[in-house]
Every structure is written in C-alpha cells, then in structure tokens.
Amino acid sequence: FIIGFVALLFVLITINIVVLLIKGKRFKKGNRKYVKRKSIIRRLLIDAPKRIAEDIIERDPEFFRHQGCVIFTGRQGTGKSIGMVEYAMRMQQEYPLAKCISNIAFKYQNDELRHWSQLVNYKNGKQGLIVVMDELQNWFSSNQSKNFPPEMLSVITQNRKNRRIILGTSQSFHLLAKPIRTQATEVRECITIFGAITFVRRREPILDASGDVVEWKNRGFYFFVHNKKLREAYDTWQVTESLTKSGFQEKDYILGNEYKIVVKMD
C-alpha cells in the first residue's frame, strides 16, 4: 500500500510539473551546483590511501605528539618520581627540541617551575612542552577543588592545542583536585623491587560527573632498570612546597613567562 501510494504521488507530481512547463513556467537558475558524492569504493581504495601516504611523507618530524595529563601514583618509595623522570627523559630523547619545566631539581629542565601560573603563557609551539610536577597533591589537593584556579583549568584543558604534556606524581589519584582527575588521560601505578627495577602499570580512569572513578581501563605495562644517568637526573630528597603556603586563592598576574604573586593579606 505504501509503495503504491508513493508511486501514485510521484506520477501526480510529474504530471503537474509537465503542465506547468507547458504553461510557460521554467525552472529557476542560480549559482547552486549539485555536488555528487564519490563512490564508497573510490573513497576507500583511492582517496584514503593517497591521503594517508601524503600525510606520512609530509609529516613534520619536529611536531611533538605527546599530550594530556599522566599521573604517576604509589606510596613513598615505590618509584613514582623516578618513573615520571624516566618518562620525561625518554620524551626528551625522542624530541630534543622539546622544552621541560619542573618543580624538582631536574638536571635536564629548561626552567624551574615555582608556581602553576608560569604554565599559562609558557609554550614552545609545535616542538612541545614537558611539564614535570612532583607531589601534585601538594599543589592541587581534592580538599581545594572548589578553589581550583580557572587559569590552571584552561591550561590542562588545552594540552593538545599547545602541544603540552603534564606529568605529575601523587600518592593516590583520589587525593588530587577534581579538575585534575577529570583531565587525567592516564594513571601509572609504580612499584620498585630490589631498589633497581621499576614496574609501571598503565590505566585509563573512567570518571562519573562527580569526578569519582567508576572504571579502570588497562593500557598495558612496562618496566625499566635504573641507571646512573637516571638516578643523577634529579634530587630525590628535594621537598616540594605546597601552594597553600602562599595561599591557594591569591590573585596571579601573568607577564609573559614571568610571574608575580599578590597575596591577600588579612
């Protein structure tokens, strides 16, 4: 019935068009052009391989491909800091032109990170930026989520656009402020045996609207053996200060890559 109705409707429309043309009506002309979509076979077997091949040939070797926010977790002495440093050094070897800024005495850093506000305007273009932040819960704890600086939220949500990866350590992922947890692309759990071999388990956190983990997706694991260069790359015993010392709610004024802090006085 439906097919018959559609066929009848089509015939009636055609008859009316013919009648209108006989009466002198004409189709209006304009600049619109009918664009015919290429066939599926052409798109898959000709256009796609050609585009992928051109992308491979034209790929910029200096374009920093790492991005996101990776958190290294574990109790004291489990190797989360050395795991973070090892990953940072590996990326530096892969991309020699990438810059690194850290809040630890990292031997291969370009600048010292003394306050999160430095990250707002600290960039390195397509060559990439590696941010190393030890004891991240001391800077942005879950108890301070409601006071999380909007400027810092802008930083962590635009890592891909700014070719930046943030590496941080925390004794527990749940100790971090909600904005950090929701933007974490990966959590790496570290454990070190014999003081020389560190195993790293990679997992992706799936969070609910409240920022609580509802599922963990495994992303594999790896291990590395400590060497002299790695152990001497940073100061293991340096204490990372908490931002609460200067007030988590202070107003920050950014001047290029420099900063100054105006602390509210009671």
HEC sequence for 3-20: HHHHHHHHHHHHHHHHHH
Residue 8 lies in a domain: no
Residue 9 lies in a domain: no
pLDDT score of 239:
56
DSSP state of 37: P
Contact yes or no for 168/70 (Cβ under 8 A): yes
Which tens digit of pLDDT belongs to each residue from 50-59?
999 999 999 9
pLDDT score of 46:
95
Burial letters for 191-230: b for 16+ Cβ neighbours within 10 Å, e otherwise?
bbeeeeebbbbebebeeeeebeeeeeeeeeeeebebeeee
Residue type, 205: P
What is the C-alpha to C-alpha distance for residues 213 and 143, in angstroms, rounded to an integer?
Answer: 17
Residue 4 lies in a domain: no
Residue 231 lies in a domain: yes
What is the C-alpha to C-alpha distance for residues 206 and 217, in angstroms, rounded to an integer?
Answer: 8
Residue 229 lies in a domain: yes
pLDDT score of 142:
65
pLDDT score of 250:
43
Mean pLDDT by 10-residue block, N- to C-terminus, for the chain (266 residues)?
89 94 88 88 95 95 94 93 97 97 93 88 93 87 68 84 93 89 94 96 92 91 97 76 45 41 36
Residue 76 lies in a domain: yes
Domain with residue 126: its CATH number is 3.40.50.300
Residue 60 lies in a domain: no
Residue 104 lies in a domain: yes
Contact yes or no for 163/45 (Cβ under 8 A): no
pLDDT score of 210:
80
pLDDT score of 237:
67
pLDDT score of 251:
45
Residue 162: give the domain boundaries: 68-262
pLDDT score of 115:
85
pLDDT score of 223:
98
pLDDT score of 238:
65
What's the domain count of the chain? 1
pLDDT score of 112:
92
pLDDT score of 146:
65
What is the C-alpha to C-alpha distance for residues 136 and 91, in angstroms, rounded to an integer?
Answer: 20
